[in-house]
Amino acid sequence: MTSTLYLHDNWRFSAVGETDWHRAIVPGCIHTDLKANGLIPDPFYGTHEGSLQWIDKQDWQYETVFDVPQDMLNKSQIEIVFEGLDTYADVSLNDTPILAANNMFRTWRIEIKRLLRAEGNRLHIRFRSPIQEDLPKLERLGYGLPATNDQSERGGLGGKKLSVFSRKAPYHYGWDWGPRLVTSGIWRPIKLEAWTQARISDVYIHQSSVTVEKAQLEAHIEIHSEVEGPAILRLHGAGRTIESTITLAKGVQTHRIEIEISHPDLWWPRGYGQPSLYTFRAEVAIGGTAIANRTVRTGLRDIQLVQTDDEAGTSFYFQVNGVPVFAKGANHIPNDSFITEVDEERYRHEIVTAAASNMNMLRVWGGGVYECDVFYDLCDEYGILVWQDFMFACSMYPGDAAFLQSVEEEAKDNIRRLRNHPSIALWCGNNEIDTAWAQYDEHGGWGWKQQYTPEQRAQIWSAYESIFHRILPDVLAQLAPRAAYWPSSPMQALTGDRSQHAKNDSTRGDIHYWGVWHAVEPFSNYNVNLGRFMSEYGFQSFPELRTVQSYAEEKDMELESDVMRWHQRSGDGNRLIKEYMDIYLPTPKDFPAFLTMSQILQAEAIKTAIEAHRRKKPYCMGSLYWQINDCWPVASWSSMDYYGRWKALQYYAKRSFRDIAVSVEEDDERIFVHIISDGRDNLEATLHVQLFQFDGQLVREQTAQPHVEANHVLTALTLKKSDWTHGCSLPEIVLIATLEHEGNALDQKFHYFAPVNKLRLRKATITVRPMDADETTFLVETDVLAKSVMLTASAEGVFSDNYFDLLPGLPKTVHFLQREQGQTAFHLAQPGAMTVSSMCDWTEVDA
C-alpha cells in the first residue's frame, strides 16, 4: 500500500542573498509569511498595498529538513509530489536539483528514493521573481499583449503587462475588484508517497449512460507498476464488488471495469432532488494480498448543455437527468488574495450561503484559480452546479511552443483531478476574450486588435485558436469525453465569422450584460437586454461599516478619501454608485448611511435583473450575477463581503431565487403577476393580491387559484392599472402579492408605483420582540410602511430574512442563524445585542 508523509513542518524562508531566516507556514505564500513575522504591515489595511510592490521583484527561498520513517524507506518507490508551487521554482533535495517548475496550476511528481536518507533530508525551493522571469519574454516578443486588468502601473512597471506570460492566477496582478499582490510560495501541499510493486494513480468513473432506470459506468483504473504478471483488480461500490484478472506490465497502464446499476440514486442540483453520491474503491491484489487501492466519490447524473434551434434562435441551457434546469447563482472569484488563507470553513460558508440563497450554480471565473478539492466536494454535497472556466481572462496570450505545452499539461492535470465531480456542468475556455478581441468584426471588441500590425494580429489570433479551439477542447475530449466545452464566455456560437461574437440582444449563446453599471443605463434595461443565458451582470456596493472599519480610520470615512478610492478598483466606481443613488434613492444623511444605501441600491438593481431573467424562462435559462464573494475588504460587486457578511443583495437574491416565486411587473396600462416554478411537481396554489396604503389600510384585493405547472412560468393575473390605482396617490400605495400552498406562504413580493426616492415615506416605529425563550426568533412589526428594514446583531451570523419591507398589520417572523465549525447548515442562535432601522433612519426624509 502507498505510504504518505506530508512535509508541512519546520519550514523557514529568506530573501535570496540575505542571511536572516524566518519561520514559514506551509502551505502559504511570501506575503503571509512576511506579515506573520512582522516584516510587512497588513496588505489590506489603508493603502499599504502600494508600499509592498517590491516583494514580487525579489527572489525568495524556502527550506525544511525532514526525516523519513524506516518503513517508508523500505518501499522500492518513493516520489515527492508538489500539488502547487507558485510559480517559478527551482527545487533541490539534499543539494541535488530535482525540479524546475513554471506553472502554478500544475502538479509535479518526481521519483527521489536514491536521494533520501533516514534523517536530515534538506528540501530547498528557490522561487524566482515572476516579474524578473517574465520581463525578458516581453522583450523577446517585441510587443505587449492586451491585459486590461493587469495593474502594471501600480506595480511600478508602467505599461508592461506581464501577467499573460506566466501560468499564474491572473487576479494576483490586480483586477477591477482586487489588489495587485503578486505572490510566490508553496500554495498547496508537498508530500512523499512510497510504494512497492504497484500503485493506483487514478480512478475515473466514466458515465457512459445514466437514466432513472439504469446507470452504465466504466471505471478507468490507471496503475503504475514496477512488476509484471497476473493480478486481481477489484472495484467496490454501489453495494457490490466486481473482480477481474489482469496482467500487470512495468510502467503505466489503464484497465477498465464496466458497472451497471439498476435504478440508481441520481445526483440532482439543489431544488430538483437530492445530490446523491457514490463511493468507489479500486484495489489491486497479488497472490491474495492487496497491494494498492484508491477511493473516489462521484454522483451519477446525465448532464448536457442543450443548444438546439427553436423559433427564437438557439437554446442554451443545462439539462440534468432529462430535466431543463434554470441556472440560478453567481460568479465566484478566489476568496482571498492569499488563497492559502481560505480554509474549509470559509469554503463551506460560501457554499452553505449559496444553497441557503436558493442558488444551484456557481461559475468559477477564469481569472482566479482552479479551486481546491474541498470547494468541488462541497458543491457535490450541496447540489451546486459548477460552470468551470479554464484560467484565462480578459487578455491575449503568447503562442510559443513552451507556453502552449505548459497550458496542455495544466489542462490535463486539472481535468484529471476534477472530472469525477458531478457538480461540474461545463468547462469554458476563457472569460471575455473572444468578445474583447472580436476577430471577425473589424469595428467590434474592446479596441485591442487595432493596436497591432496585420502580421502581429495574425500571430496573436493564431495563439488564441491554438489554446481555446484546439488544445483545451482536445484534452477535454480525451480525458472527459462527455463533458461540455464552451470556448469563451460570452459568445454566440463557434461560427468563424462575425456572428461568433456576443451581443446584448443575442438569441443564442451566453451574455455578459454591463450596460447597467458601466454605461449608466437605467435598471429597466435589465428587462429588455435578455439573452438565452445571462452568465454575467452586476452592480457595486460598499460593505457594511464594521468591514470598512477593518481597513479605514474615522478620518477616511468619506467617498473620495484616499483609502476609499484605494479600496475601489473600478475606475469611477464610487462616482457611479453615487450617480445611480441620485437617480433611484433618497439622499443618505451621512457616510455610514451611504454605505447601507449603496447595498440597497445594488440589491434593487440585481433583483430587477434576476426576476426579468426568470420571467423569460424558457427563452432565458440562466442568471449568474457578478459576484458572490470578495478576495479582500473592498467596494465591489459582491453580495457577501470578504468576512462572509451578507450584504443586502444576498438577502434579495435569496428571495428572488426562490424555487417557487412571485414576480410583479407593469406597463403603462397593466399589472402582471407572474408565478415562476423551478420545481419538478405541479401544485395548486392560492394567490392573494392586495393594494395597501402606507398606513396599512387595505384598498383593493383579489384572490386566484392558479394551477402552477412544474418548471414553467405562468402569468397568473393581469390587472388593469387604472382600475386598481384609481383614487390613490401612487407614491403612497404598495401592491403585495402573496402565493400560498396548503396554507403555507411560498413567496411574497412588494410592488411600488413610483421610484423609491419618490415614495412618501414616513419615519416608522419598528418593534422587535422575541418569540421564544432562547431569543433566537423574533417578531418584527411597524406602525407605517418601513422600507428596507435592517436588523443588525452583535454576534456574527445571518438572519433568515433582512432588508425587507414591512407594513402595519403584516408582521414578519425572523430567525437569527449561525453555523459553527463543521456544521453543514445554518442553525438557530442568539444574536446578542440587536438594532433595527429602515430607510427613513438613513436618509434626509422628514419624519
Residue range 780-824, pLDDT digits in tens: 999 999 999 999 999 999 999 999 999 999 999 999 999 888 788
Active site residues: 432
Mean pLDDT of 342-360: 97
Average pLDDT, the chain: 97
Q: What sign does the CA torsion over 593, 335, 357, 780 have?
A: negative
pLDDT at residue 329 in the model: 98
> Which residue is associated with the grid cell 460558508?
349
**Per-residue cell: 461:** 489570433
Write the pLDDT tens digit of every residue in 400-458. Answer: 999 999 999 999 999 999 999 999 999 999 999 999 999 999 999 999 999 999 999 99
Q: Check whether 380 has a pLDDT greater than 50.
A: yes
SS3 category, 252: strand
Residues composing the chain: 847
Q: Express as a percent the part of the chain with pLDDT over 70.
A: 100
Write the pLDDT tens digit of every residue in 308-321. Answer: 999 999 999 999 99
Give yes or no for a contact between 12 and 26, defined as CB atoms under 8 angstroms apart: no
Mean pLDDT of 396-403: 98
Mean pLDDT of 195-205: 97
Give yes or no for a contact between 125 and 89, defined as CB atoms under 8 angstroms apart: yes
pLDDT at residue 846 in the model: 53
Return the CATH architecture of domain 3-191: Sandwich (2.60)
pLDDT at residue 206 in the model: 98
CB burial string 81-99: b at 16+ within 10 A, e below: bbbbbbbbbbbbbeeeebb
Q: Express as a percent the part of the chain with pLDDT over 90.
A: 98
| Within this chain, domains 3-191 and 326-389+503-654 share the same CATH topology | no
**Per-residue cell: 576:** 457611479
Write the pLDDT tens digit of every residue in 277-290. Answer: 999 999 999 998 99
**Ordered alpha helix ranges (H), 125-253:** 130-141
Asked if the 658-757 domain carries CATH number 3.40.190.10, the reply is: no
pLDDT at residue 847 in the model: 43
pLDDT at residue 493 in the model: 96
pLDDT at residue 822 in the model: 79
Distance CA 467, CA 12 (A): 38
**Per-residue cell: 286:** 497479488
Distance CA 99, CA 81 (A): 11
Confidence of residue 386 (pLDDT cuts 50, 70, 90): very high
pLDDT at residue 845 in the model: 60
Instruction: Domain ranges for the chain, please list them.
Output: 3-191, 197-298, 326-389+503-654, 658-757, 761-847
Which bin fits 554, alpha (ψ -120 to 50), beta or left (φ > 0)? Answer: alpha
Of the candidates 549, 553, 629, the one whose C-alpha atom is nearest the C-alpha of residue 595 is: 549
Which bin fits 436, alpha (ψ -120 to 50), beta or left (φ > 0)? Answer: alpha
User: Which CATH topology does 326-389+503-654 take?
Assistant: TIM Barrel (3.20.20)
- Give the long-range contacts of residues 398-403, CB within 8 A, separation 24 or more: 398/137, 398/141, 398/145, 398/164, 398/165, 398/463, 399/459, 399/460, 399/462, 399/463, 399/464, 399/466, 399/467, 403/165, 403/167
Q: Which CATH class is domain 761-847?
A: mainly beta
Residues in Cβ contact with 733 at an 8 Å cutoff, skipping those fewer than 6 apart: 691, 692, 693, 694, 699, 725, 752, 753
The domain 197-298: what is its CATH number? 2.60.40.10
**Per-residue cell: 489:** 464566455
Q: Is the full-model pTM beyond 0.95? A: yes
